[in-house]
């Protein structure tokens, strides 16, 4: 999933995609440890997907904080 597709997802869809990506990463690591994983490139790809999702979530959170006026 590239960053443009990730940015088009809603907050709920991002949460679901993050949960699914974390499960995929866990499954790939488990398959690696039991020597059943054939394509080793799935682990870094999944980690990058998780990073993209977290980046978009943090961007949206920063926009919310930036939209509020901070007064002291």
Say which residue, 11 or 68, is predicted with more confidence.
11
CATH class of 3-67: mainly alpha
Model confidence at 69: pLDDT above 80: no
pLDDT in tens, 50-64: 999 999 999 998 888
Residue ranges of alpha helices (H) inside the chain are 3-7, 11-33, 42-67
Mean pLDDT confidence for 27-50: 95
pTM over the 0.75 mark: yes
Domain boundaries, the chain: 3-67
d(CA 22, CA 63): 25
Model confidence at 70: pLDDT above 70: no
């Amino acid at each position: 999933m590239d960053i443009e597709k990730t940015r088009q997802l809603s907050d709920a869809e991002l949460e679901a995609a993050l949960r699914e990506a974390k499960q995929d990463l866990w499954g790939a690591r488990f398959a690696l440890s039991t020597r059943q994983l054939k394509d080793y490139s799935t682990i870094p790809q999944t980690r990058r997907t998780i990073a993209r999702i977290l980046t978009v979530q943090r961007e949206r959170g920063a926009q919310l904080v930036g939209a509020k006026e901070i007064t002291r």
